[in-house]
Copies of this chain bind each other. A is one copy, B any other.
Amino acid sequence: MQITVSNRASTLKPSAIREIFKSLTDPSVISFAAGNPSPESFPVADMQRFANDIFENNANTALQYSITEGYIPLRSAILERQKSKFNIGKDHDTVLVMTGGQQGIEHTCKMLCNEGDTVICEEPTFIGALNAFRSYGCRLAGVPMDDDGINIEKLEQACKDNPNAKIIYLIPTFQNPTGKTMSLEKRIACLEIAKKYGLFILEDNPYGELRFSGEDVPTIKSMDTEGRVIYCSSFSKILSAGMRVGFLILHEEIAGKIAILKQISDVHTNIFFQMMCHKFLTEYDLDAHIEKIKKLYGRKAGLMLKCLDESMPEGFTYTRPDGGLFIWGDMPKTIDPKSFIKELTENKLAVVPGATFMCDGEAVCHGFRMNYSTPSDEQIIKGVDILATVAKRNLK
């Protein structure tokens, strides 16, 4: 029988990253392509202890239907931590527990955008967000980035050019895929532009706590007095990605509307792991745990940068992140990116092609994303060696 899908579904292709993830069954391939936290960062023993505690003392709550907005003690604990540590959350703000930050992004778009509306974003940016916006028939307006974040003049121009814009989507800290961090001045400017053009900012901050060098920069949300910023984060990079627990911090009026959409999407997020997260926030030294992850990722990023510094030929450039999971590489314009990436794969190194992160997925992009949190030290050394060898060969 013939299957005709909706217009919105017909435009979507599987995310290249998830597809790469699926194809990484060949153990001889070194992958810089993932966006996974290191398994070393999972606090397994404490999780097991907390799980047993829940089964023994609170099983009926943990296994029964629960409230869409999230486990109330978890919501309170998240808000308290974000307020005290990061000055996030005004009196009108509340927390919605989401099934991963991804659901927060998708639901924000579903709630705010009609088909044909525009989402303005950094370019390159997170493919999962781009595809979520596409799935609701949104147009995408990409704004180029400088070393210190989105180009402000071009952002304002995009706002002028797109009267149907509803959202500015930003990952200001350790951006995916570039690893760049937006300066404080630019954050202030983004908020002013959003006000001027009547737009919401969706501030996606899954990596913000993972800074291993430099000084913290305040989130845009921390400067938001009127509820214009919808703040999205998650426990995926600090506790476990597989449990799928993320959250939004946002004006309670918007939260109420997103909760209605979540109700009919998955009713609520797995309540057992919401209770686990609550225990990690209240009966555990989460900050000490995050310090360990930062040290681990700082060391791994340092190793990858050292290898790149020592071996990459002139003409290739790469970012130097202060945190997060990613380094962004750029090849000379004389090289064809598709055949370069293909040659890497043939030599058993997987990276993510930059075009994946562009608003126009068919655009030519000379960048590529590398991840240092998942590969072992040995794999980082060997993988960069493959990269440098292929790079040099392509410069001849």
Contacts and interface: CB of A to CB of B under 8 A. Distances in A.
Interface of A: 1, 3-9, 12-15, 18, 21-22, 34-37, 39, 42, 44, 47-48, 51-52, 55-56, 59-68, 99-100, 102-103, 106, 110-115, 117, 128, 131-132, 135-136, 226-228, 236, 240-244, 251, 253-254, 257, 259-261, 263-273
A39 to B, nearest CB: 4
A67 B1 contact: no
Nearest to A17: B263
A233 to B, nearest CB: 15
A270 B270 contact: yes
Number of copies: 2
Nearest to A133: B264
Most chain-B Cβ atoms within 10 A of its Cβ — which of A35, A51, A261, A267?
A267
Contacts of A260: 9, 12-14, 131
A267 B244 contact: yes
Contact of A128 (B13, B102, B267): B267
Given A6-B113, A15-B264, A103-B265, 11 more contacts: A6-B114, A13-B260, A42-B59, A48-B51, A102-B267, A242-B271, A244-B266, A244-B267, A244-B268, A244-B269, A270-B273
A48 B99 CA distance: 23
A288 to B, nearest CB: 19
A21 B65 contact: yes
A242 B9 contact: no
- Residue of A102, A113, A227, A270 most packed against chain B (CB within 10 A): A270
B128 A264 contact: yes
Contact of A272 (B22, B68, B273): B273
Contacts of A7: 114
A42 B65 contact: no
Nearest to A109: B6
Given A3-B253, A227-B1, A266-B266, A66 B113 contact: no
A265 B133 CA distance: 11
A1 B115 contact: no
A256 to B, nearest CB: 8
30 contacts: A1-B226, A3-B254, A5-B112, A6-B111, A6-B117, A9-B257, A14-B259, A15-B264, A36-B65, A39-B63, A39-B64, A48-B51, A51-B51, A51-B55, A52-B52, A61-B242, A63-B241, A64-B241, A66-B242, A99-B244, A99-B270, A102-B264, A110-B135, A115-B115, A242-B270, A243-B270, A244-B267, A244-B268, A244-B269, A272-B273
A254 B1 CA distance: 11
A278 B279 CA distance: 26
A269 to B, nearest CB: 7
Given A47-B55, A67-B22, A111-B9, A272 B242 contact: yes
Contacts of A243: 63, 270-272
A247 to B, nearest CB: 13
A36 B99 CA distance: 21
A311 to B, nearest CB: 29
A265 to B, nearest CB: 5
Contacts of A135: 110, 261, 264
Nearest to A99: B266
A263 B6 contact: no
Nearest to A51: B51
A254 B21 CA distance: 21
